[in-house]
Structure 1
């Protein structure tokens, strides 16, 4: 139990025909909510820290990673730590020795040849240290600081033939693909291209990763896993539950100064949202 690697979780999920859920955390309460929900469900889980979360934490990965590692080591279910959407090589290097077993190196904004070169270098560095590396091909829209991108725009989707060549050229261990989802969606209205997912699954022999999953309805998530998606990344859904509950509690108690009652409710609301997603993502069949 306790701290494990993302690779072990995705390998087991693929063998069982289910998904592995990865939840992006920003605060300690986020991370606690992930562990609470995973333990209630008896499900393994990935705790993810994004480059934007590190920026919020004043550019320091260590404190939040150490807290997540401590939670993972005490958990009663397998928990892996993942570093998400890394564009900074310095941050990639900072992952060493933190308990983080996988990194998503995001060079998707670069031209194809530059993406391949940068990602191959990142793969070589990671593999020397026993870290698995995920990359992105195509472009999943909605990233902070990036121009808005229509998930259905020409060129946004990942091409299966190009994906196969990309995996061969870079040696990546997992591939994030653009199949109709978008980051930071506040409503669950995304429609995925399940035929494309199946063709991508047939084209590459590494786990496929779905980013922007907060905007994907339950049935679409189930179909995506059945079609070949293995790792399902969720972030915004946690923030909707967490921030919404905080807002309600603080508005209702303007005369209170102690933040703990509000944070307790926010943590529990987040854990419940995570639990619902775990049931969808990790269900067999």
Structure 2
């Protein structure tokens, strides 16, 4: 079932659950995370980041993911992640994406607001949900100077007054592409943001956050968390083992069976961590 993100993240943020957004790169991993979502009767967000778009263009990605969404009863959101330009967002919307993130976090607050307002005007006319970002989540596993780019609560409030997006990504201590769970959430800052805004919040860089902090986030207004590295690590580890243990195997389908099972298992683990209960095991 193809939907936008708005209702799903609102319901999750008020019900001690969080909707996972998974970075996917094609048929196999997209189907794996949908299969995981079906076990929990939960929504799933299929996200295309810059690397994914370079691997498979927006139009091809949208066609594939829309087709997969039509074959399941769980809500499926097709989301463009970290788009930097209006042109890229327009291409995604025209291709069939149901949700977009405009990332103007590197700009001044005023420019970020103005650009986001333009995105909102387009999205509202197409029933597309919009995520934006205040503060900046870095791509590193070092914690130096993180405070200088964390979200300022008053700026988040000013942003939402002028550009009322459906979900707001905030920087509160997580980092992109961490391979170890060592990032800690600044809950005091998060509570201050919650006190000044009324919007589901989004956390990027979830793979590196310690599990207890993720569990504590269930009692906040966070409605979406982005997950990429955990799935890629599960895939890479299993694929290496398959190739090394079967040096004469050349069938792509056979080689990918165990890696995709590992991706699904990693996605299921995230659903449990984010407050979802497994309700059945049969495919819908």
TM-score with structure 1 setting the length: 0.91
Contact 2:13 2:220 (8 Å CA) reproduced: no
Q: 1:49 maps to what in 2?
A: 48
- Identify which range, 164-173 or 148-157, moves more after superposition: 148-157
Aligned length in residues? 277
> Equivalences for 1:79-158 in 2 at 5 Å?
79-142=76-139, 150=143, 153-158=146-151
Contact 1:137 1:176 (8 Å CA) reproduced: yes
Q: Secondary structure at the match of 2:174?
A: coil
Q: 1:215 maps to what in 2?
A: 208
Contact 1:194 1:223 (8 Å CA) reproduced: no
The separation in 2 between residues aligned to 1:111 and 1:11, in whole angstroms, is: 28
Contact 1:151 1:157 (8 Å CA) reproduced: no
The separation in 1 between residues aligned to 2:90 and 2:215, in whole angstroms, is: 35
Q: 2:29 maps to what in 1?
A: 30
The separation in 2 between residues aligned to 1:124 and 1:263, in whole angstroms, is: 42
Question: What runs of 5+ residues in structure 2 fail to find an aligned partner?
Answer: 278-284
Q: Quick one: structure 1 residues 277 and 93, their matched pair in 2 at CA, closer, same or farther if it must change by over 3 Å?
A: same
Q: Deviations over 1:148-177 (max 9, x none)?
A: 874753321111111000111222221100
Q: 1:6 maps to what in 2?
A: 5
Contact 2:249 2:255 (8 Å CA) reproduced: no
Q: How far has the Cα of 1:84 moved from its partner?
A: 0.8
Q: Is residue 269 of structure 1 aligned with residue 268 of structure 2? A: no
The separation in 2 between residues aligned to 1:259 and 1:32, in whole angstroms, is: 16
Q: Quick one: structure 1 residues 15 and 224, their matched pair in 2 at CA, closer, same or farther if it must change by over 3 Å?
A: closer
Match of 2:69 among 69, 72, 77: 72
Q: 2:225 maps to what in 1?
A: 232
Contact 1:3 1:72 (8 Å CA) reproduced: yes
Q: Quick one: structure 1 residues 151 and 167, their matched pair in 2 at CA, closer, same or farther if it must change by over 3 Å?
A: farther
Match of 1:281 among 261, 274, 284: 274
